[in-house]
Amino acid sequence: MKLMKTCLTALISSLMIFSPMAYADKWSDQFPHIKATGDIPGDCSYEKMSKKNYKGKTLKINTHAIPVMGEPTALHAEQFEKLTGAKVEVTHTPAGDLYSKAMVPFQAGQAPYDVVFGFSNFINDWKRYLAPVPKKYMNSPEMKDVTKSHMGVSSWDGTMYQYPVDGDRHYLKYRKDVIDNPEMQKKYKADTGNELRVPRTWKEYAQMAKYFNDWDWDGDGEKEYGSAEVMKKDDLMFAAFFSRSVAYAKNPRTPGGFFFDLETMKPNINNPGFVEALTDWVEATKYVPPGGTNFGLGDEIGSFGGGQTLFSFSWDDAFIAAMQDDSPIKNKVGAAPLPGADRVWNRVTNSWENQYNQAPYIVWGWAVGVAKKSKVKDMAFDYLCFFSNGANHQADLAIGRFGVNPFKNSDFDPNIYINSMGWDPEIANSYTQTLLDMEKSNNRVFPLRVPGVFEFTSAVATGTSKALAGQLSPQEALDEVAKEWEAIVSRVGKKAVQDAYAVGVKMEDNKL
Amino acid sequence: MNFKHKYFFLFPGLFVLIGILIFPIIFVVRLSLSGWNSYNPGLDYIGLENYIRLFTDDPRFWESFFRLSFLSVTTVILQYVIGFALAHMVWKDIKFKRFFRVLFLVPMMTTPVIMTVIWRTFFHESLGPVNDLLSVFGVAPKWLTDPVIAKFTVIIVEVWQWTPFMFLLLLAGLLSLPKEPFLAAAIDGASPVRKFIYVTFPLMAPISIGAIIIRLIEASKIMDTVYVLTSGGPGTSTETSSFYIFIKGLREFQMGYAASMSFTYLIIMIISLTIIAKVLTKVLLKE
- More confident position, A11 or B21: B21
Distance CA A315, CA A23 (A): 34
pLDDT score of B287: 57
Residue A87 — φ and ψ, nearest 5°? -105, 125
Q: pLDDT tier at B11 (50, 70, 90 boundaries)?
A: confident
For domain B59-284, the CATH architecture is: Orthogonal Bundle (1.10)
Q: Region B34-61: what's the mean pLDDT?
A: 93
CA distance A336 to chain B (A): 27
Q: What is the DSSP string of A283-332?
A: HHTTSSPTTGGG--HHHHHHHHHTT-EEEEEESTHHHHHHHSTT-TTTT-
The answer to whether A87 touches A59, Cβ cutoff 8 Å, is yes
More confident residue, B67 or B13: B67
Angle subtended at Cα A153 by Cα A384 and Cα A456, rounded to the nearest 5 degrees? 120
CA distance A486 to A268: 11
Tens of pLDDT along A113-156?
A: 999 999 988 998 999 999 999 999 999 999 999 998 889 889 99
pLDDT at B193: 93
Q: What is the pLDDT of residue A21?
A: 44
**Predicted confidence (pLDDT) at residue A474 exceeds the cutoff of 50:** yes
Least CB-CB distance to A232: which of B128, B131, B233?
A: B233
Q: What secondary structure, in 3-state letters, does A434-482 show?
A: HHHHHHHCCCCECCCCCCCHHHHHHHHHHHHHHHHCCCCCHHHHHHHHH
Quote the crossing angle between the two packed helices B59-91 and B97-109, to the nearest 10°.
Answer: 160
Put simply, the chain A residues between 481 and 500 with a CB less than 8 A from any chain B CB are 487, 491-492, 496
- Do B39 and A125 make contact, defined as CB atoms within 8 angstroms? yes
**pLDDT tens-digit series, residues A344-370:** 999 999 999 999 999 999 887 899 999
- Confidence (pLDDT) at A321: 86
Kindly report which listed range (A246-260, A392-406, B152-166, B199-213) carries the lowest average pLDDT score. Answer: A392-406
The Cα–Cα gap between A431 and A415 comes to: 11
Segment A261-268 shows an average pLDDT of: 96
Does residue A91 belong to the interface with chain B, where contact is any CB pair within 8 Å?
A: no
Tell me how far apart the alpha carbons of residues A401 and A318 are, in angstroms, rounded to a whole number: 10
Closest CA to A381 of A28, A155, A130: A130
Helix axes A474-492, A494-508, angle to 10 degrees: 120
Per the rule left: phi > 0, alpha: psi between -120 and 50, beta: everything else, A22 is alpha
- Does residue A11 surpass a pLDDT of 90? no
Tell whether the model's pLDDT for residue A372 goes beyond 50. yes
- For all residues of chain A together, what is the average pLDDT? 91
What's the per-residue H, E or C state across A181-198?
CHHHHHHHHHHHCCCCCC
This complex has an ipTM of: 0.84
Q: Which of B57, B145, B232 sits opposite A291 (nearest CB)?
A: B145
**CB–CB of A458 and B251 under 8 A?**
yes
Are B217 and B273 contacting, i.e. CB atoms less than 8 angstroms apart?
yes
pLDDT at A257 (0 to 100): 95
Q: Would you say residue A20 has pLDDT above 70?
A: no
Place A215 in a pLDDT band, splitting at 50, 70 and 90: very high
Q: How far is CA B230 from CA A5, A96, A189, B238, in A?
A: 75, 15, 40, 7
Cα B141 from Cα B122, distance rounded (Å): 12
Q: Which residue of B has its CA nearest to A95?
A: B251
Residue B51 has pLDDT above 90, yes or no: yes
Domain boundaries, chain B: 59-284
Note whether A117 and A98 are within 8 A (CB): yes
- pLDDT above 50: residue B232: yes
What CA–CA distances, in Å, run from B33 to A49, A362, B265? Answer: 51, 39, 15
Residue B161, helix vs strand vs coil: helix
Mark yes or no for CB contact A234/B251 under 8 Å. Answer: yes
Q: What is the mean pLDDT of residues B8-34?
A: 91
- Asked whether the predicted pLDDT for residue A9 surpasses 70, the reply is no
Q: How far is CA A67 from CA A77, A316, B153, in A?
A: 14, 15, 30
In chain A, residues 10-69 whose CB comes closer than 8 Å to chain B: none
Instruction: Classify B28 in phi/psi space as left (phi over 0), alpha (psi -120 to 50) or beta.
Output: alpha
Residue A147: φ, ψ to 5°: -65, 160
- When pLDDT is cut at 50, 70 and 90, the band that residue A485 belongs to is very high
Dihedral sign for Cα B210, B222, A290, B149, please.
Answer: positive
Q: In 3-state terms, what secondary structure has residue B66? A: helix
pLDDT at A13 over 60: no
Domains of chain A, first to last? 23-164+364-405 (3.40.190.10), 171-362+443-508 (3.40.190.10)
Q: Do A471 and B233 touch (CB under 8 A)?
A: no
Is residue A137 left, alpha or beta, with left meaning phi > 0 and alpha meaning psi from -120 to 50? alpha
pLDDT cut 90: percent of chain A above it? 74
Which residues partner with A408 through β-bridges? A146
Please tell me the predicted confidence (pLDDT) of residue B1: 61
pLDDT value at B233 more than 90? no
C-alpha distance from A97 to closest chain B C-alpha (Å):
8
Task: Answer yes or no: do B39 and A487 touch at CB < 8 A.
Answer: no
CA dist B170 → B155, B156, B195, B201 (Å): 21, 20, 17, 11
Q: How confident is the model at residue A19 (pLDDT cuts 50, 70, 90)?
A: very low
Q: Measured between alpha carbons, how far is A414 from B186 in angstroms, rounded to an integer?
A: 86
Task: Note the pLDDT of residue A380.
Answer: 98
Position A439 pLDDT exceeds 90: no
Phi, psi (rounded to 5 degrees) for A199: -60, 130
Cα of first residue to Cα of last residue in chain B, in angstroms, is 46
Quickly state the pLDDT bin for A4 (edges 50, 70, 90).
Answer: low
CB A73 within 8 A of CB A61: yes
Nearest-by-CA chain B residue for A100: B250
Q: Which residue has the higher pLDDT, A104 or B152?
A: B152
Residue A110 touches partner B, C-beta closer than 8 Å: no
CB atoms within 10 A of CB A383: 29
Query: For residue A512, what pLDDT band results from cuts at 50, 70 and 90?
Result: confident
From B198, B155, B130, B165, select the one nearest B68 (Cα to Cα): B155
Mean pLDDT, all residues of chain B: 93
State whether residue B60 is helix, strand or coil. helix
Residues of B in contact with A216 (CB under 8 A): none
Separation of alpha carbons A49 and A46, rounded Å: 5
Mean pLDDT computed over B211-235: 92
Asked if B126 and A470 come within 8 Å (Cβ–Cβ), the reply is no
Q: Which residues of A touch B140 (CB under 8 A)?
A: 290
B231 → chain A, closest CA residue: A233
User: Residue A225: beta bridge partners?
Assistant: A309
DSSP 8-state secondary structure symbol assigned to residue A89: E
Cis check for the bond before A67: say yes or no (omega within 30 of 0).
yes
The β-bridge relationship of strands A87-93 and A225-228 is: unpaired
What is the percent of chain B with per-residue pLDDT over 90, rounded to a whole number? Answer: 79
pLDDT band (50, 70, 90) for residue A57: very high
Listed in sequence order, the residues at least 6 apart from A490 whose beta carbon sits closer than 8 Å to its beta carbon are: none
* First-to-final CA distance of chain A: 56
Contact: A291, B142; criterion CB under 8 Å: yes
Residues of A in contact with B131 (CB under 8 A): 290
3-state class (DSSP) for residue B273 = helix
With beta carbons under 8 A apart, name residues in chain B contacting A100: 250-251, 253
Residue A18 is predicted with a pLDDT of 41
pLDDT of res. A299: 87
Please report which residue ranges of B110-200 form alpha helices under DSSP H: 112-123, 129-134, 147-175, 180-187, 192-195
Q: For chain A, positions 295-354, list CB contacts with chain B under 8 A.
A: 296, 303, 308
Tell me which of B252, B254, B255, B260 to substitute to probe the interface with A (most A C-beta atoms closer than 10 Å): B252
pLDDT(A97) > 90: no
Q: Does B157 score more than 80 pLDDT?
A: yes
In angstroms, the Cα distances linking B254 to B32, B36, B147 are 10, 6, 27
**Interatomic CA distance for residues B192 and A470, integer angstroms:** 50
Alpha carbon distance A398, A320 (integer Å):
9
A497-511, pLDDT tens digit by residue? 999 999 999 989 988
**pLDDT band at A16, cuts 50/70/90?**
very low
| Burial readout A266-295 (b: 16 or more C-beta within 10 A, e: otherwise) | bbbbbbbbbbbbbbbbbebbebbbbbbbbb
Instruction: Quickly state the pLDDT bin for A235 (edges 50, 70, 90).
Output: low
